[in-house]
Copies of this chain bind each other. A is one copy, B any other.
């Protein structure tokens, strides 16, 4: 159990203001609470920790995980990144940068900017796709209207 010190270093501290308070107001949650809240399974949460995707999760005096609000913030962020299709390995890289402290601000910013470029590209692609779908849906709608009139 040779843990490195609980670094919990200054990372981009805040999420944009959240609308919804967390389940129970306190700042510690068991793994099953977090699972219920995030929709991830406890297995997945432990796996995230194993592969270094969590920036250190605290433990109770008996060794149970105690997730904090900052962990939920992080998981929400990871969820967003996941939606972009970012590979887990890249997220792990970002998590590493967090653990390494403030001197990685530049690299973190670059990583996020590159991700942002990807996301913008994906949005553009999807909007393209949307145009095609609109076109085809109109085609079918027209064709069916025409055949009804016939």
Contacts and interface: CB of A to CB of B under 8 A. Distances in A.
Given A77-B132, A131-B16, A132-B15, A140 B126 contact: no
B126 A83 contact: yes
A22 interface: no
B131 A122 contact: no
Nearest to A116: B133
A112 B144 CA distance: 15
A112 B138 CA distance: 10
A140 B109 contact: yes
B133 A119 contact: yes
Given A108-B140, A140-B108, A140-B109, A83 B119 contact: no
A88 interface: no
A129 B84 contact: yes
B130 A119 contact: yes
A105 interface: yes
27 contacts: A12-B139, A13-B139, A14-B139, A15-B132, A16-B131, A77-B132, A80-B132, A81-B129, A83-B122, A83-B126, A84-B129, A102-B143, A105-B140, A106-B144, A108-B140, A109-B144, A112-B133, A112-B137, A113-B137, A116-B130, A116-B133, A116-B134, A119-B130, A119-B133, A123-B123, A123-B130, A126-B126
3 A-B pairs closest in CB distance: A109-B140, A80-B129, A116-B133
